[in-house]
Structure 1
Amino acid sequence: MEQKVTDIITHMAHSHQQMARVLDAERQIAVRMAQIIHELPDKQPEFDGIDGMMESAGRINKSLVSYLNVIADLQEAMAENLTHVMSELKSLEDEE
């Protein structure tokens, strides 16, 4: 039974590593977008007027919100998995 729990924890750790890799890639995209925004001139930008600026800002905001939602989902998944592991360990202790 302990081997099964160990295997489950190993698989969960691997899936968490993969989710972390995805999040890191998305973080790098968000950082790069922020760097691009920082480099834009403050005076007389050429964005096809106010509508173009609003559209660009909306896309950036959407990307950042997406990134934060993915982080929240990862935290929720990790908490749920940890809850299952802890209840399994508690049941193992009760059996002993």
Structure 2
Amino acid sequence: MKDIIDEQLQAMAKSQEQLARSMQAESVVVTRMASLLRRIRADELTLVSGNPYTEAETNVMREIGAYVNALADFEEALANHVKYAIKELRVSEEE
């Protein structure tokens, strides 16, 4: 039973590492998009149909929102994995 729990914990740890790498990559993309947008002078930006934000700014905001949502999903997955691991460890200690 302990071996099964160890294997599951290792699989969860690998999954969390992959999620963290994905989040890091998304963070780099969002940061790069924002820095590129910052380099554009205000007079170079054009307003579309009275919208105070350009399409590029809107895209950056969407990416930031997606990144924050992904962070929340990552946190939830981590909490679920930890909860599951603790539950399994308690069961194995009782046996």
What TM-score results when the alignment is normalised by the length of structure 1?
0.87
Q: For this pair of structures, how many residues does the alignment match? A: 92
Letter aligned with residue 47 of structure 2: I
In structure 1, stretches of 5+ residues that fail to align are: none
Deviations 1:37-84 (A, max 9, x none): 221113x21x3x311843222111100000111111011001001111
Structure 1 ranges of 4+ moved more than 6 A: none
- Please, which runs of 5 or more residues in structure 2 have no aligned partner? none
Question: Percent sequence identity over matched residues?
Answer: 26
Higher mean displacement: 55-64 or 71-80: 55-64
Q: With structure 2 as the length reference, what TM-score do the two structures score?
A: 0.88
Query: Would the aligned equivalents of 2:37 and 2:56 in 1 still touch at CA under 8 Å?
Result: no
